[in-house]
Amino acid sequence: MHDDRALVEARLKRVLDERIRPAVYPESAPLTVEAWVAPGEPVPVAEGLAAAHEPIEVGTRWGAPWATTWFKVTGEVPAAWAGKTVEAVLDLGFDERMPGFQCEALVYTPDGEPIKAVNPRNQWVRVGDPVAGGERVEWRLEAASNPVLLGDEPFRPTDLGDKETAGDEPQYVLTRMDLAVFDAEVWELVQDLEVVGELMHELPVEGGRRWELLRAVSRCLDAIDLQDVNRTAAAARSHLTDVLASPADASAHRISAVGHAHIDSAWLWPLRETVRKVARTTSNMTNLLETEDEFVFAMSQAQQFAWIKEHRPEVYAKVKKAVAEGRFVPAGGMWVESDTNMPGSEAMARQFVHGKRFFIEEFGVENDEAWLPDTFGFAAGLPQIIKAAGAKWLLTQKISWSQINKFPHHTFQWEGIDGTRIFTHFPPVDTYNCSMLGREIAHAARNFKDKGVAKHSLAPTGWGDGGGGTTREMIAKSRRLRSLEGSATVEWEKPADFFAKAEAEYPDPPVWVGELYLELHRATLTSQAKTKQGNRRSEHLLREAELWAATAAVRTGFPYPYDELDRIWKTVLLHQFHDILPGSSIAWVHREAEKTYAAVAEELTGIVEAAQRALAGEGDTELVFNAAAHTRSGVAAGAAGPAVEAGTVTVTARPDGGHVLNNGLLRVEIDGRGLVVSAYDIDADRETVPPGEAANLLQIHPDFPNMWDAWDVDAFYRNVVTDLTQVDSLVADGGSVTVTRSFGDSRVRQTLSLAPGAKRLDIATEVDWHETEKFLKAAFPLDVHAERYAAETQFGHLYRPTHTNTSWEAAKFEACNHRFVHLEEPGWGVALVTDSTYGHDVTREVRPASAGAGTTTTVRISLLRAPRFPDPQTDQGVHRFGYALAPGATITDAVREGYAINVPERRVPGAAPGPVEPLASVDLDSVVLSAVKLADDGSGDVVVRLYEAGGGRARARLKLGFPASSVQTVDLLERPLAEGASYELREGGVDLVLRPFELVTLRFTR
């Protein structure tokens, strides 16, 4: 037989596109449309329903960027359509290629009941099946004209990302507003041909099954009368019955489809629009659940459920009913799908606390899985946090985006820094927006790396990012793929059911130890510096507020601000979403975030000051309140008392120009260029800066990645670098030295100082930044021979290599730290600590004999970028950073200095005849109190969370500063643990025995 594959395949495409799909709606009648444009921001539903509408015609341009238009749509079903299925087809000007990224609408009845949403892949509203004919129909559409920002020219700078700069040019053309007869037989034919045709393309040409499908398609097309598709559809379908009935092989890969709509809580739209996106998507999903018995839908992010509860209670009622029926599944147990690299220890824990608690209280559902399909890499401390929250599984997909190295597993045990292992799955379908295309299903089966020992994978199915969810077409296609020869099998399942099956069939999966590093989107550790700074400062203010409020409550009866802290935590957690904290959202999002963080800081500072006043009493004695993790200024951690001065600092002229700072522990030389050419550890008789090198060297690079501007920095950025060594001024003032520089259109001012009694050089940096597509770093070359370095992460630190022996190591050319990075040789180390930055790089080189030989290891802090998409004004303006160099530091010193720079002392006048004793203290510096607070349930119990921070075993004593009657070891939600170590109260404290990086939460009854 001659090879006519190409001929039949081309025929199939044209006939589908030009004849069969148009025949789904063979008859139509126009609807009458009126419109009202809401002034400014979206209005309450009742106001939109009651507004006076004006006539508008199909073909009219509508919708200024970010505006809301309320459409009133009315009509009458023709009497001749009696007995037929009728739908409204509502096309607002959609581009089907971009579901979730453009205009959308929620459809209401005239009395305000939400029906479903319309979007580019979901343009229908059912009128009746069948209709009687003559029915009057009326709907109201709350339509959002969200502009397209990531279109045919991706990453193009645009002012559309902020309503203040977007203008008022209409974005869309009203395209179709009709009543139409829906021919279910033709629609089913479309699904048949799509499934068969897509499967056919994925099968080997040499196999008989591909040809069997091809011949069936050919016969099917022969049976269609192209001038009367509707009459001949049933006959055409009959030619596909046998090939669609042939069952899958017993060895076929098995896919658990989970209905899904990964909705970014903010990204190319503001938070307020996400509220409506969630309502639109969930209304569609509850609508589908009413008619599709096998369908299961999962939605993560407790914040999104809370939004619809608050803003769209009618939609929420339908969601809650579907959850109770077990088919709408709250997934993941986190407040939002957060970034996991940058959130601090407590914040990462509280993502699970607030997420799981919401699901438990609202639905009686507790999740065993963490659900993070789109997060940009995973910190090595996360497995312990997942377990401490009472969960045991993790799903993500994003690691498949890595540019260089292919991750070797799809199902595996992920081991964190403390040894905790979490059963983890990466869907081999390689998308969290699966739409049941044949190429997606075939890719999942081919790509699955655990063949031979496992055969289950998961496919999150539905339009996401901007929402939309699963469609009836996806469900229809999955029904045909339940068991189909040549294909993987597909079955709708809850995430927990998938994980239970996968774990049962693969009891001994491979183990991956350490962080799950995404070889992409590395610049998200730096973009939008003020958002990152707001996050860091909010986290530490929350630490202070809980500590001092709890201390004051126990000591003085101060009213503990339960509700305020709960609300503020949720606000901070929301802004850790993986497109807000990483700096990859539009200007509107980050402009609002800056205001939100300022309000959070003001409110938390008020709580802190009120609690401290209650503790200090009235008087003129200056008390130091120390909320850091270790003693400083003679005041214990978590305590308050008079400061103990710790020595002096001298500043002298340097013979060759510049100045010398000396506090008896550290001598720092700053040359005439304002650079640190010596940082001498006096006690250790050890120089920090390599010969001929200079530290605190600001360097600027061109920064124009190949794509994903705000997200990515590509390795070639290093090829060109400019050292900023020109000085405008260099001035010694008291115990510090200030240097100013100009470069490009920008200016920087740095103040270098030594802290009395501390082996630490503090550097306060202010940058007035007006560069475009540039990357600013601060370099610290160190005279340290180290093959690895430590970077702080949640509840500990991880080690990364300083070399690039393999492609895996070379790919980590930009990485994350929290408050410190630390390098050491046996017996001596050095730390670099930061107050608000996360990105850094570490490189090493061997010096030639002429330069004294030895190894130079350079740490560079990433300060600022200037990408133009999606915010063309990213980071423009004034920024202030604090960082410090700590020569001679051990890991424990690095932890201490990291807390110190992030949690400044507060000096408060008061009476206090004696110091304010801490509620809890530990006698070993390597054991850190992460949180001291009152229990969330309002019982008055005191909760203390602590962890071993040094990476070694620890025996320590936790001393209580209040009488307690009992202690319980609890999980992050402050519930007693059935397993694990238990502790006993003895003589006003607890004796601790901790493993490396072990996290423990203790609850004390007063």
Enzyme catalytic residues: 374
Q: How far apart are the first and last CA of the chain?
A: 87
Q: φ and ψ at 411, to 5 degrees? A: -130, 130
Place of tokens 């007035």: 768
User: Residue 239 in contact with residue 445, Cβ under 8 Å?
Assistant: no
Q: How far is residue 41's CA from residue 272's CA, in Å, rounded to a whole number?
A: 9
Burial of 670 (0-12, 13-18, 19+ CB in 10 A): buried
Distances (CA, A) of 995 to 571, 896, 926, 999: 33, 20, 12, 9
Strands 393-395 and 369-371: parallel
- How crowded is the C-beta side of 614, counted as CA atoms within 13 Å? 19
All residues at 6 or more sequence positions from 381 whose CB lies less than 8 Å from its CB, including other chains: 345, 348, 416, 417, 418, 793, 794, 795, 796, 798, 997
Q: How far is residue 472's CA from residue 252's CA, in Å, rounded to a whole number?
A: 25
Which tokens in the block code for residue 774?
């540039």
**Closest residue by Cα to residue 998 from 902, 914, 927, 913:** 927
Q: How far is residue 1006's CA from residue 934's CA, in Å, rounded to a whole number?
A: 11
User: Residue 224 in contact with residue 425, Cβ under 8 Å?
Assistant: no
String of DSSP letters for 537-563: HHHHHHHHHHHHHHHHHHHH-----HH
Place of tokens 């962890």: 947
All residues at 6 or more sequence positions from 27 whose CB lies less than 8 Å from its CB, including other chains: 81, 180, 181
User: Residue 526 in contact with residue 864, Cβ under 8 Å?
Assistant: yes
Distances (CA, A) of 141 to 23, 43, 107: 26, 13, 5
User: What SS3 class is residue 8?
Assistant: helix
Q: How far is residue 920's CA from residue 641's CA, in Å, rounded to a whole number?
A: 16
User: What SS3 class is residue 293?
Assistant: coil
If residue 371 lies in a helix (H) or strand (E), which one and from where to where?
strand 369-371
Running DSSP on this structure, what letter comes out for residue 42? -
Angle 49-52-54 from CA coordinates, rounded to 5°: 115
Residue 3's CB: how many other CB atoms inside 10 A?
Answer: 8
